Structure 1
Amino acid sequence: MKRSEIKRRPLADTVLAALEPEKKEYRENYGMDGIYFAVKPNGHKRWNLRYKDSDGKWRWAGLGAYPSTSAKMARQNAQDFITKLQETGSSPVDTKKESKQDNTLLAVFELFYDKKKLDGVAAKTLKEMRSAFTIHVFPSIGKKPVDDITIQDCVAIQKKLQDAGTFSTADKLRSWLNRTFRYAIAAGLANNNPASYLIDVSVKKPKVQNFPYLLEDELPDFLKTLHESKYSTFTTLTAAWLVIYTASRPGMVRWAEWDEFNFEEKTWTISAEKMKTRKEHIIPLTKQVIELIEKLKPYTSYSKYLFPTEYGVRQPVMSDATINKAFSLIGYKRKMTGHGSRHTFKTLVTEHGWNRDWSELQLAHIKKGIEEVYNKAQYLKPRAIMMQWYNDYLDAIEKGITEDQKKVFSNKVNMID
């Protein structure tokens, strides 16, 4: 619809939706309260308020983007704006115009990020959030003022992630975007939240099976094939073996730092802020693990991380798909995963009769009744013995374990010196 075809005011919703863009941006008088409806050449639409400041000069104020801001909301925003102007004699919009660059999404995100940091959000979560915005959001809308960002802008970001099958990232980013805009509104930096509608058009994540894992009789071929693999780099294979030998979450291994390891005490201590449970986690180091890490030192000790990349802040450590890819390349796609190795560990040690509390604590599964004991690390010694048994047992079945060896291993279960 061309604006020359407008016949009555206030403008009806059908008119607002149908107005066509022109070569230059234009504003149409909405028909009440000094409100105007602006249409940009790219089709973006927004509400403006024409008002006089304390010096008697005419100025424009933004009331929100359309359609996320309805006509009713625009009228309310205009009323709130005029009330505040009359009470204080100054306008927040004037301040924003003087520092136009300060309300881009990039700038607002930094303010939101700093607040979350002060709120005590885990460092790992903050890194993940910054990485997601840097990769998926900033390239397309980072330099836009937050009030110029539309619902369609946000939908396009979500759709791209869901089309790629990265539903987990899409879900997290939807939440982070929503909270970023909510923060911007509360801080007086934005008038609307275009991300609030994303949940209405999101695609439900397909149901997936539990992480694929192997049982004991399937392990010999897998372990032997992994040792002989020529398809992955040394650092990737080292990470894969650390996941297997420690039964740790792949993310814990990928983000492991050199300062976390104490080779004299033979422990790997992961701070509470990096843990899903928000509690410090201590992992005993076996002979196999120490040997792997010693061999890794010449390659990555220049970095704070054991498994750094060359991408810097954007992706400081090995990607979350790397370990699973190493398994896929040796023929175990959809048969074994990094996280699945935790299921393998739990199943194997349980079947051999190891104390359930010890294996649960090794997996950082804290349950009521043993939490206080875990905090004092009183189960560290038995877990160290259990993990050395587990590592030795894996090595033995890879080489071809004998019945006599099985008896020896069986006699060591739950035996604490």
Structure 2
Amino acid sequence: MVLWGFSYAGVHRRPAVAKKIAGIFVGTKTKNVGIAAMPLTDIAVRNAKPAPEPYKLTDGGGMYLHIHPNGSRYWRMAYRIAGKQKVFAIGVYPAVTLAEARQIRDDAKRLVKQGIDPVAERKRAAKQNADDRANTFEAIAREWHQTKQGSWTASHAAKILNSLEADIFPALGDRPLTTVTAPDLLEALRVIEKRGALEVAGRVLQRCNAVFRFAIATGRGTYNPAADLRGALKTPEKRHYAALGHAELPEFMRKLSEYDGDLQTRLALRLLALTFVRTGELRAAQWTEFDLDGAEWRIPAERMKMREAHIVPLSRQAVDVLRQLEAINGDGAYVLPSRNGRGACISENTVLYALYRMGYHSRATGHGFRATASTILNEMGFPPDWIERQLAHAERNKVRAAYNRAQYLVERRELMQVWADYLDSAASDRFVAPTEFGRLWLRK
């Protein structure tokens, strides 16, 4: 510190001089102390010693080092904005060096020149940083998942979260969601593509799209980069479930009747063929969903792919199968309970492995019965609307969907009985092509 041409740092070891200079501070406010006319040097800052009263070493541009009696030293910058005198805290010396303090001062002066208060800007930036830490992509994605999982089955909710944890969170999870760009997201998705999981990449993109839309809806995002990636991913070849043609039904029905595996599995396969519901809908079926006397199965919305309750009219043959299952499983909750004794239903592989055992590896799947039934019933001449309603396919027109929810129920009862009779005919000498069988039905 320079006072009237003397360096306080240079005379602090000369008691008489130091005492005289120190006496200047007694009863004197810091702002009235003499100020150095020249910019500071690293040596001057390093050698500055505390005095009985706080004092300042000025550097220029409004910046000064405020030295307290306890030895602490703070960089400060005095400035005026909107006609008011204010002080900007730059940092603590020596954590912030002279050079660093000057850089911060220059940045702050540029803000003042633009009419921006650096103190207010620092508070805004601190809040933004706090928001960014709280609103990472992973944090918002998990919140989205939490709000949506009530509308999903437990297994589907787990699959969605697992895909994000495995393929997106490692790359983007700790990033503030607002900083994630379309190229960032595409780079993460390309990793999935490179391992050949094209369908997974597409589903993950859909989930990311939902996360960004959720962020925008809740006020924590303004831009959805996932929407900009439409068409950017490779499209997987559409694969159809292996399904039997009508000419293969006689052999299949014969092999099914001769199946020597578990009785419950054989009955499950027959019921799947008779009802052509989705495999998951059959596996998790519970006795409370059935009215065997009324020949009706009502699958609740939460177990349906489209989240709409579905009515399955039961043919005489389907009721007979269910009566047999009731005799062996009627004391439990599930129609097809697992044999592991853990209170669960049969696994998704039970039906598939049974088909393998019958010799239908790559030739038939449980889901394939839906395609088989749809094709044959259309060839028989049944109205497509009846068939689509029985398959519980989504109706794109929402008004029509609401109208059709229970529509054609009487007609669908007839359709399901004709289908069951056709399967029975496949195991007899009465088996004919679908078109011929359809003509017999139309004559009734």
When the two structures are superposed, what TM-score results if normalisation uses the length of structure 2?
A: 0.54
Which protein has greater RCO, CA pairs closer than 8 Å, 6+ apart?
1
What runs of 5+ residues in structure 1 fail to find an aligned partner?
1-53, 60-81
Structure 1 residues 123 and 354, CA gap change in structure 2 (3 angstroms): same
Query: Between Structure 1 and Structure 2, how many residues are aligned?
Result: 323
Contact kept? 1:123, 1:273, Cα under 8 Å: yes
SS in structure 2 at match of 1:269: strand
RMSD over aligned Cα, in angstroms? 5.2
SS in structure 2 at match of 1:283: strand
Structure 1 residues 109 and 289, CA gap change in structure 2 (3 angstroms): farther
Contact kept? 1:386, 1:413, Cα under 8 Å: no
* Residue from 316, 319, 333 that aligns with 1:290: 319
- Partner of 1:380 in structure 2? 409
Is the deviation greater in 361-370 or in 323-332?
Answer: 361-370
- Partner of 1:244 in structure 2? 273
1:170 deviates by 3.3
* Residue from 146, 149, 153 that aligns with 2:173: 146
- For residues 220 and 270 of structure 1, what CA distance do their matches in structure 2 show? 30
| Deviation by residue 1:258-292 (Cα, 9 ceiling, x = unmatched) | 43322232211234455455543211112332333
- For residues 336 and 190 of structure 2, what CA distance do their matches in structure 1 show? 32
- Partner of 2:158 in structure 1? 130
- Is residue 2:375 matched to residue 1:347? yes
- Name the aligned partner's letter for residue 177 of structure 1: C
Contact kept? 2:380, 2:436, Cα under 8 Å: no
- Partner of 2:147 in structure 1? 115
- Partner of 1:205 in structure 2? 236
- Partner of 1:225 in structure 2? 255
SS in structure 2 at match of 1:282: strand
Identity of aligned residues (%): 25
* Residue from 298, 321, 338 that aligns with 2:366: 338
| Deviation by residue 1:89-128 (Cα, 9 ceiling, x = unmatched) | 961544776xx8x9683x544410233368xxx535x852
1:176 deviates by 0.9
- Partner of 1:262 in structure 2? 291
Contact kept? 1:92, 1:188, Cα under 8 Å: no
| Deviation by residue 1:207-260 (Cα, 9 ceiling, x = unmatched) | 43x4443332221101222333456x5555444333311122334334544433
- For residues 357 and 194 of structure 2, what CA distance do their matches in structure 1 show? 25
SS in structure 1 at match of 2:297: strand
Structure 1 residues 278 and 86, CA gap change in structure 2 (3 angstroms): same
Structure 1 residues 170 and 223, CA gap change in structure 2 (3 angstroms): farther
- For residues 179 and 371 of structure 1, what CA distance do their matches in structure 2 show? 24
Bigger radius of gyration among the two: 2
- Partner of 1:46 in structure 2? none
Contact kept? 1:283, 1:362, Cα under 8 Å: yes
* Residue from 304, 309, 315 that aligns with 1:280: 309
- Partner of 1:215 in structure 2? 245
- Partner of 1:63 in structure 2? none
SS in structure 1 at match of 2:174: helix
Contact kept? 2:243, 2:369, Cα under 8 Å: yes
- Partner of 1:77 in structure 2? none
- Name the aligned partner's letter for residue 175 of structure 1: Q
| Deviation by residue 1:296-337 (Cα, 9 ceiling, x = unmatched) | 45559645685669799xx98733x65445434422234333
- Name the aligned partner's letter for residue 293 of structure 1: L
Contact kept? 1:300, 1:308, Cα under 8 Å: no
Structure 1 residues 341 and 91, CA gap change in structure 2 (3 angstroms): same
Structure 1 residues 89 and 199, CA gap change in structure 2 (3 angstroms): closer
Contact kept? 1:309, 1:318, Cα under 8 Å: no
- Partner of 2:206 in structure 1? 175
- For residues 248 and 88 of structure 2, what CA distance do their matches in structure 1 show? 81
- For residues 407 and 328 of structure 1, what CA distance do their matches in structure 2 show? 31
- Name the aligned partner's letter for residue 145 of structure 2: Y
Structure 1 residues 351 and 132, CA gap change in structure 2 (3 angstroms): same
Structure 1 residues 240 and 58, CA gap change in structure 2 (3 angstroms): farther
Matches within 5 A, 1:6-21: none
Structure 1 residues 88 and 393, CA gap change in structure 2 (3 angstroms): same
Matches within 5 A, 1:56-205: 91-94=127-130, 105=138, 108-116=140-148, 122-124=151-153, 127-134=155-162, 136-138=163-165, 146-147=173-174, 159=191, 163=195, 166-180=197-211, 183=214, 202-205=233-236
Structure 1 residues 410 and 104, CA gap change in structure 2 (3 angstroms): closer
- For residues 328 and 84 of structure 1, what CA distance do their matches in structure 2 show? 71
Matches within 5 A, 1:371-410: 374-377=404-407, 379-401=408-430
- Name the aligned partner's letter for residue 237 of structure 2: P
1:384 deviates by 1.8
